[in-house]
Amino acid sequence: MYYLGIDLGGTNIVAGVVDENYKIMAKAECKTAVPRPESEICESMAAVAKKAVEKAKLTMNDIKSIGIGVPGAVNPKTGKVEYSANLFFHNWEIVKMMKSLINKPVVIENDANAAAYGEFLAGSAKGANNAIAITLGTGVGAGIIIDGKIYSGSNYAGAEMGHMVIVKDGKECACGRKGCWEAYASATGLIALTKEAILQEKPDFSYMLKSINGDINKISGLTAFNAMRAGDAAGKQVVDKYIEYLACGIVNAVNIFQPDILCIGGGISKEGETLLAPLRALVEQYRYTKHNDKQTKIVSASLGNDAGIIGAALLPGNE
């Protein structure tokens, strides 16, 4: 039996055919190209889904069901995307539209939840009963698994951990609050920290500024880490401060949920132990359960961008 998983992002739409062993048989993708009408987005999803099936040398008759991961407040019961800031939609009847294009059962879920479920089924959180997956990207995404099930709250908008405040009256977040974890621990937050550090240095002596050829607009999430590896003190200060902010939110998550495993994905997670070793040390120092025998394991997510496809394909109701 085969399933289709679709990861609907603000930049790309990716569809994958997934088998019963969580293996992706084939993928296809296209640009999301927002803003545009809901119907056009659905037509693009249907097109890439069919292309992925063709690449897998299958037909739609071989596909049992379709799962879609969508950013925003997603209601699996009504089949509606209640609100998606990145896609500019409100009360979008996505399931109804997709069924009219592809006559298959369709299930939807928040994209971060779908990615967490993918890691739970086949990735770094496999075998856990309770798990959290954090994605460090433009924002901070989070998915929570409790007793093997996705936790989404009574209004299907749970797990927005990026919007818990860690600095009172701190930096303004895109959500409108100040001091959100996302404003500090996302890749965007790391870039802002790096920029602030560079602007405080004397240009002639700034290793980080020289590494980006003097163009402040070329700062990335790698800039400070690369500078630190080269022995630059300012780069190390940025990385240390960033990891402190990241650890603050991780400690909160561990204290509240006590997961078996907490896995971290997104571009910054590719730093591996350079990121995780000092992060674990801070979490061990500040977590409430420091004297307990059983502790949360903090690891890198292992499925990358495939987590959302696998998780969406095998969402409860699809399997």
**Residue range 272-304, pLDDT digits in tens:** 999 999 999 999 999 999 999 999 999 999 999
Asked if the structure places residue 210 within a domain, the reply is yes
Residues 108 and 241 in one domain: no
Q: Could you tell me the residue range of the domain that residue 26 belongs to?
A: 2-121+306-313
CATH number at residue 83: 3.30.420.40
The structure tokens 């889904």 sit at 49
Task: List the one residue out of 194, 273, 201 whose CA is nearest residue 235.
Answer: 194
Q: Report the pLDDT value the prediction gives residue 174, as an integer from 0 to 100.
A: 84
Residues 157 and 255 in one domain: yes
Residues 17 and 160 in one domain: no
Q: Report the pLDDT value the prediction gives residue 158, as an integer from 0 to 100.
A: 87
Residues 248 and 212 in one domain: yes
**Residue range 218-272, pLDDT digits in tens:** 999 999 999 999 999 999 999 999 999 999 999 999 999 999 999 999 889 999 9
Asked if the structure places residue 319 within a domain, the reply is no
Residues 170 and 265 in one domain: yes
The number of beta carbons lying within 10 Å of the beta carbon of residue 19 is 13
Asked if the structure places residue 318 within a domain, the reply is no
Residues 6+ apart with CB under 8 A from 12: 29, 30, 31, 32
**Residue range 194-211, pLDDT digits in tens:** 999 999 998 888 999 999
Phi, psi of 237 (to 5 degrees): -60, -40
Asked if the structure places residue 7 within a domain, the reply is yes
Residues 89 and 154 in one domain: no
Asked if the structure places residue 115 within a domain, the reply is yes
What does the block give as tokens for 149? 């099930």
Asked if the structure places residue 116 within a domain, the reply is yes
Residues 134 and 105 in one domain: no
Query: What whole-number distance in Å separates Cα of residue 117 and Cα of residue 272?
Result: 21
- With pLDDT > 90 as the criterion, what percentage of the chain qualifies? 86
Residues 86 and 44 in one domain: yes
Residues 131 and 112 in one domain: no
> Over 90: is that where the pLDDT of 51 sits?
yes
Q: Report the pLDDT value the prediction gives residue 61, as an integer from 0 to 100.
A: 96
Query: What whole-number distance in Å separates Cα of residue 313 and Cα of residue 67?
Result: 5
Task: List the one residue out of 72, 68, 60 whose CA is nearest residue 103.
Answer: 60
Beta strands in 77-195 (DSSP E): 80-84, 89-92, 106-110, 131-136, 140-146, 149-151
**Residue range 84-99, pLDDT digits in tens:** 877 888 999 999 999 9
Q: Report the pLDDT value the prediction gives residue 318, as an integer from 0 to 100.
A: 63
Q: Report the pLDDT value the prediction gives residue 44, as an integer from 0 to 100.
A: 97
Residues 100 and 182 in one domain: no
Residues 152 and 264 in one domain: yes
pTM of the model: 0.89
Whole-angstrom CA distances from 288 to 142, 147, 222, 250, 296 are 21, 22, 32, 12, 12
Containing 2, the helix (H) or strand (E) segment is strand 2-8
Residues 109 and 136 in one domain: no
Local confidence band at 316 (pLDDT 50, 70, 90 cut-offs): confident
Instruction: Give ∠ CA 67-68-72 in degrees, rounded to 5.
Output: 140
Asked if the structure places residue 157 within a domain, the reply is yes
What's the total number of domains in the chain?
Answer: 2
